[in-house]
């Protein structure tokens, strides 16, 4: 029996996930059968066009309808829409897949996670970069002890779509709607990747010292003369300490002129090191124990994670494949009544670090992660 899927949101993330769902029958034939059943949005005309283009059977402007009628609910709306529909779905026993960051605030993320703990269904947070084959290969090296004791974790996520001061205002620039700026939008990914990669070896991030910066504090609203205040960070930097004493440094910016979607993570240990860049996402740079320098591994062999579903070695994958992989794992967990990670617990863990960085910026002090 096919799973009827309801999706709230049909812009960038709606397209990425709808594309992923459409690929599953062709490349992951053991994935559960699904119907792209119900697309949820506010603007009926835009919603109808999107439903046709993204392959959804029906539309509704009321997410409560969707929750009553579907087997799985995807919350791909803006951050300020994540909590209420996701909690309602979980209270109705409907599995939820929610885009990152989990919520604008730690409090809301906590309430969402409480609803997940009380429901007996999967609730995933869409940290898609965990599903890059090279990242999963890197985790295998780290967990097998190839890097030895982890000493350094260094992550940055650089974009430049706001460097033009006249780039229009958007919900991502409003604290009430987004919670934070580059920190929650981009930093959430890097914090989650750090947890995923070194969490078993270095433990959790125990304390942080953070700095937030807004370079342009008001922007034009598209289609008129209005200008609105920017109330979130354009960039952040943070230092972190892990349970094992490893030193972390994290940053993200939307003003990193010339960087389009430059997400990198570097890990150095007592026996070896790794470097990953999203702009070269099929490759992993690896310093083996005793080697004189890094080697570049092309992670596209059949035995590499997910690659056997796609093409022969060297026929590289792209950003969109990470969504196919995460949708395969999430929908399989729903169908089999299994667990999916990253769950809302992981979303909450990232939110704790985000909140601590915000607190540290306000106090100028190091802040422990509760
Ligand atoms: C921001 O521009 C953004 O779309 C993030 O919201 C996504 O999570 C990231 O994957 C790409 O950049």
Q: Mind listing the pLDDT tens digit for each residue in 171-218?
A: 999 999 999 999 999 999 999 999 999 999 999 999 999 999 999 999
Query: How many Cα atoms within 13 Å fall on the side-chain side of residue 135?
Result: 26
Distance CA 156, CA 116 (A): 30
CB of residue 251 inside a 6 A radius of ligand 1 = no
How far is the centre of ligand 1, averaged over its atoms, from the C-alpha of 222 (Å)?
Answer: 20
Q: Determine the Cα–Cα distance for residues 203 and 349; give it in Å rounded to an integer.
A: 12
Q: pLDDT of 351-366, one tens digit each?
A: 999 999 999 999 999 9
Q: Structural domain boundaries of the chain?
A: 3-128, 132-314+344-363
Q: Phi first, then psi: give them for residue 284, nearest 5 degrees.
A: -135, 125
pLDDT of 118-131, one tens digit each? 999 999 999 999 99
Full-prediction pTM beyond 0.85?
yes
Distance 263 CA to ligand 1 centre (A): 10
Q: Which residues contact 29 (CB under 8 A, 6 or more apart)?
A: none
Identify which of 167, 186, 253, 318 to mutate to test ligand 1's pocket (most ligand atoms within 8 A of the CB).
186
Whether the CB-CB separation of 6 and 70 falls below 8 Å is answered with: yes
Q: Is the CB of 185 under 6 A from ligand 1?
A: yes
How far apart, in whole angstroms, are the C-alpha atoms of residue 198 and residue 246?
A: 10
The rounded distance, in Å, linking the Cα atoms of 336 and 123 is 14
User: Distance, CA 13 to ligand 1 centroid (Å)?
Assistant: 9
Domain range 3-128, CATH class: alpha beta
Q: What CATH number belongs to 132-314+344-363?
A: 3.30.360.10
């Amino acid at each position: 029996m096919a799973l009827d899927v309801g999706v709230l949101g049909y812009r960038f993330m709606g397209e990425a996930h709808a594309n992923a769902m459409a690929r599953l029958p062709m490349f992951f034939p053991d994935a559960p059968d699904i119907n792209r059943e119900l697309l949820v949005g506010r603007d009926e005309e835009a919603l109808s066009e999107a439903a046709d283009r993204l392959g959804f059977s029906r539309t509704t402007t009321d997410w409560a309808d969707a929750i009553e009628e579907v087997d799985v609910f995807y919350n791909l709306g803006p951050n300020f829409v994540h909590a209420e529909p996701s909690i309602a779905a979980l209270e109705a026993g409907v599995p939820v897949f929610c885009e990152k960051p989990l919520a604008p605030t730690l409090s809301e993320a906590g309430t969402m996670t409480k609803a997940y703990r009380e429901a007996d269904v999967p609730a995933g947070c869409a940290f898609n970069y965990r599903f890059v084959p090279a990242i999963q290969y890197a985790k295998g090296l780290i967990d097998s002890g190839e890097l030895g004791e982890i000493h350094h974790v260094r992550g940055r996520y650089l974009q430049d779509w706001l460097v033009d001061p006249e780039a229009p205002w958007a919900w991502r620039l409003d604290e009430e709607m987004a919670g934070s700026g580059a920190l929650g939008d981009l930093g959430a990914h890097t914090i989650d990747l750090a947890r995923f990669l070194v969490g078993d070896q270095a433990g959790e991030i125990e304390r942080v010292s953070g700095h937030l910066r807004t370079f342009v504090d008001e922007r034009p609203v598209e289609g008129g003369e209005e200008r609105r205040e920017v109330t979130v960070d354009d960039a952040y930097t943070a230092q972190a300490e892990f349970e094992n004493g490893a030193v972390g440094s994290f940053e993200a910016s939307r003003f990193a002129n010339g960087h389009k979607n430059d997400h990198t993570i570097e890990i150095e240990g007592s026996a070896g090191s790794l470097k990953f860049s999203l702009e070269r996402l099929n490759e992993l740079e690896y310093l083996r124990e005793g080697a004189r320098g890094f080697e570049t591994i092309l992670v596209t062999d059949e035995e590499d994670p997910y690659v056997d579903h796609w093409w022969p070695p060297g026929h590289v994958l792209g950003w969109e494949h990470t969504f196919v992989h995460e949708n395969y794992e999430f929908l399989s967990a729903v169908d089999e009544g299994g667990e999916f990670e990253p769950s809302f617990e992981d979303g909450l863990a990232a939110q704790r670090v985000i909140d601590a960085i915000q607190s540290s910026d306000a106090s100028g002090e190091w802040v422990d992660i509760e």
